[in-house]
Amino acid sequence: MKRLAVYCGSATPEDPRYVALAREVGEELARRGIGVVYGGGRLGLMGALAAGALEAGGEVVGVIPEAMVAAEVANPDCTELHVVATMHERKQAFTDLSDGFLTLPGGVGTMDELWEAVSWAQLGYHSKPVGLLNAFGFYDGLIAFAAHMASVGFVREAHRGILIAENELGALLQRMEAYQPHKPIFRMTAEEL
């Protein structure tokens, strides 16, 4: 994995652990020679992620919609900053520019990005690993819900391993590196669906 799309919040929660985590993830990815592709913002966890990676000498590729540039939240320090017209173009660029997806704590936008990466993997639009860093137990409920969707039958057996969740970054990156793509829906027969 040479580049990972990192999804995280643009907010700054009151609990300082979240911003510190984002900075540490940026630093560690840079130390491992993994470039960061992210939302291109300078605020919240996004800004901390980019700062950590840049300060450790890493590559940081931002992808930001024009409307956010106009709102003056774009990070001018990125190695590269791609300005796109829409959020749809932004998410496509994340997929095109990365070798996998790493999700840190975040809100609605982060969830949108995570679930699109999972959905696109199920369908066959990409065959890249989708990682979820469950720091501080932030995603315990989400992980339980994903298991519930599978147990009820809304996630096929072949796709249960798409979402890779770990509590520690090192373990998560190791599992993402070892990820073996599954059989996507686009290649399944009617009997398999």
DSSP 8-class letter at 80: E
Provide the whole-model pTM. Answer: 0.95
Cα distances from 112 to residues 28, 170, 190, in angstroms, run 25, 25, 28
pLDDT tens profile 19-47: 999 999 999 999 999 999 999 999 999 99
CB of 45 within 8 A of CB of 11?
Answer: yes
Q: CA 175 to CA 165: how far, in whole Å?
A: 9
* pLDDT at position 187: 85
What is the DSSP track for 10-48? Answer: SS--SSTHHHHHHHHHHHHHHHTT-EEEE--B-SHHHHH
Q: How many Å is the Cα radius of gyration of the chain?
A: 16
Q: CA 168 to CA 136: how far, in whole Å?
A: 10
Q: CA 119 to CA 107: how far, in whole Å?
A: 18
Q: CA 123 to CA 164: how far, in whole Å?
A: 17
What residues of the chain score a pLDDT lower than 70? none
* pLDDT at position 48: 98
8 burial (CB, 10 Å; 0-12 / 13-18 / 19+) is buried
Residue type, 40: G
Its CATH class, for the domain covering 3-187, is: alpha beta
What is the SS3 assignment for 143?
helix
Strand-pairing partners, residue 103, are 7, 132
